[in-house]
Structure formats: structure tokens, C-alpha cells
Amino acid sequence: MRRILYPLLLMLLVIVLGTVGYVMIEDMRPFDALYMTVITISTVGFGEVKPLSDVGRAWTILLIIFGWGTISVLITRVFGFVVEREFLQIFRMRRMRMRKLKDHYVVCGFGRMGRKAAEFLAKSGKEFVIVDLNGERVQSAIDLGYHAIEGDATEEETLKRAGIERAKGLAALLDSDHANLYVVLNAKSLNPKLFIVASALSEKGGDLMKKAGADRVILPFEWAGIRIGKFLVQPVVSEFLDVYQMRIEEIVLEEGSPFVGKTLRELQLTRRYGVYVIAILRGKEVMLPPDPDAPLQPGDILLVIGKTENLRRVEGLAERD
């Protein structure tokens, strides 16, 4: 507020000095002098109250210079104040929304892999937070409508800002195995139940991440090589999954889910929603193929294949009331 107050006081001072100057130099009435000062500073283009002497005109020139300089500073400060308040309000709203996040995902690193992971999570309707040290990447994520914070993902304080204690999963997708290892260690210490997927550039780095608490470790080059091999050997299957946007999802049935106690035959997910339950994981037991007449239990994990939009509908229906 002081940034606006000081230029405003300076403006009042210029008006007072201008008025006094016209009274003393041109022997004007105080109101005429005030009027002359205001129209001079504002440059509205009205004529002189009365013909001015050379000294009066010189005073007018000084008033125009100082007056416009003061007005420019005042306008700049007011505009900056308004923009800053708007920015702070947006920042506070984002921070409040992130504080309310629960069972969300944290994506550490917004490079090529991070972008694809975020894109997938967004299409799946999942809540997530991007963490990156690069300000431009963070702004890019915000422009896409994602929650994002700027900071070092290897530091505990940054992970806490991302709500790691309330998160469901984390993807460590930084540029080095060393950095990803630190992310895994800190994240697991803050939230032991967190499901962590980490990217590793080497098998040694991947082994260390597994020991540190990563649940899954992906070696991008190995994964890409296997996928290319599948396209060569099984082009029809690979193309079918990609072209028709078929995906396999796991749906965890929690206590209170409408699916618990019902059978697959009763749910009729294939007929109603066009998805197929290909297996049920119950503890260490894998029901493959699943028994259509076996009642579903809390903790069951359904492996379901179908189109993205259909899977999202079924996933929403399976959530507990």
C-alpha cells in the first residue's frame, strides 16, 4: 500500500506547489490557480485562465514535466498493485486447492516422460501435482491447467508442499538416477504407504531404488526396446491396443464399494459398459479367468480391459459410497 501512498502524496504536493506558484507568480485567485494546476498536469487541453507571463509559462513547463512524471509513477504503481493482488489471490487459491488434495499423485520432473505421465493422469481424471526445479516447465504445467510447484523434488520440504503425506502415488522422473534415488528415499520416509514408480537409466541405479523403497522401476530404453519388439512380432495386437485406445486398468474395491458382495454376473459390466474383467487379484491368489458367480470382496483388485472413457465410468461406479 505504501507504494501507492508515496506517489499519491507526491501528486498532492505537486498540486499544492503548483497552486501556490500560480498565486505568487501570476497573482491568481487560489481556486483559479488550483484549476490551472490541474488542467496543466492532466494536459486536457483547455486554455489558460488568463494570459501568462514568461515566468508563468516556465512554471507551467515545470509543472507538466513533474506532474506527468508523478502521474506515470502513480499509474505504474497502481497497475502493479492490482496485478500483484490478482496474482497473490490466484496463488492462494492454488495453494488452498493443493492443501485439500488427498489420494493424489506426485510427478517429480516435467520433462518428456513427466509430460506423458501427467497427460495420462489428466485423461484418467486423476488429481496430481507436478514438481520441477525449472520455472519455465512449472509455468508450462500451470498453463495446461495442472497443479504445479517449483522446487527441488529431492528435498523433503518440497515434497511436503506437494502434499506427499496425503498422496497415493509418486513418479520419480528426474534426469539422473542419483536424484531419483533421493526422491524415493525422502518420499518413502514421509509416507511409507506411498506407491512409488521410478525411472532409472541403469540397472544398478534401478536396484538401488528398489532397495530404497520404489515399488516399480522402469528402465525407459529397455521398456522402449521391448515395445518395439512387440510391434515387430505382434503388430496386430499392438495396433489394436493403440488405435482403439484399449487399456488395462486395475480397480481396487474398498470397504463400502457398491461392487462388494455382488458377482460379475450380477454387475454385467461387459453388457452395460463394454469392459471386460480379465482377472481378479485377491491377496496372493489370482483368479484367471475370474469366477462370474463368486461374490466380490473388499480388497479385491479387478483387472479390467476396455476403452478409456468406459473404464473411467466403471471406476467411478466402484468407488465407495
Nearest Cα neighbor of 260 from 314, 320, 180 is 320
Check residue 7 and give its pLDDT: 73
> For residue range 158-170, what is the model confidence (pLDDT) as tens digits?
999 999 999 999 9
- Backbone φ, ψ for residue 320 (5° rounding): -65, 150
3-state secondary structure of 96: helix
Check residue 8 and give its pLDDT: 78
> For residue range 57-89, what is the model confidence (pLDDT) as tens digits?
888 888 888 887 787 777 787 777 676 666 665
Check residue 106 and give its pLDDT: 96
> Does residue 289 have a cis peptide bond before it, meaning omega lies within 30 degrees of 0?
yes
Task: State the cell numbers at 313.
Answer: 465410468
> For residue range 27-43, what is the model confidence (pLDDT) as tens digits?
888 888 888 888 888 77
**Which CATH number goes with the domain that contains 23?**
1.10.287.70
Q: Domain containing 251: what range? A: 246-318
Assess whether 110 and 209 both reside in one domain: yes
What is the share, in percent, of the chain residues with pLDDT greater than 70? Answer: 88
Q: How far is CA 262 from CA 147, 237, 294, in A?
A: 37, 32, 8
Cβ-contact 186, 155 below 8 angstroms: yes
Cα distance between residue 90 and residue 83, in whole Å: 11
pLDDT at position 115 over 90: yes
Query: Partners of 287 in the beta sheet?
Result: 280
pLDDT at position 117 over 90: yes
Check residue 241 and give its pLDDT: 65
pTM of the model: 0.59
Assess whether 196 and 295 both reside in one domain: no
Q: Where do runs of H (alpha helix) occur along 101-130? A: 112-123
Residue ending a domain, choose from 224, 254, 288: 224
Cα distance between residue 68 and residue 289, in whole Å: 81
Assess whether 92 and 106 both reside in one domain: no
Estimate the crossing angle of helix 30-42 against helix 54-100, to 10 degrees.
60
Assess whether 91 and 111 both reside in one domain: no
Q: Buried (b) or exposed (e) across 36-67, using 16+ Cβ within 10 A?
A: bbbebbeeeeeeebeebeeebeebbeebeebb
Check residue 189 and give its pLDDT: 95
Assess whether 198 and 141 both reside in one domain: yes
> For residue range 295-315, what is the model confidence (pLDDT) as tens digits?
999 989 999 988 888 888 888
pLDDT at position 90 over 60: no
State the pLDDT confidence band at 95, using cuts at 50, 70 and 90: low
**Which CATH number goes with the domain that contains 143?**
3.40.50.720
Cβ-contact 199, 172 below 8 angstroms: yes
Q: One-letter amino acid identity for 113? A: M
**Mean pLDDT along residues 189-215:** 93
> What domain count does the chain have?
3
> For residue range 267-285, what is the model confidence (pLDDT) as tens digits?
999 989 889 998 999 888 8
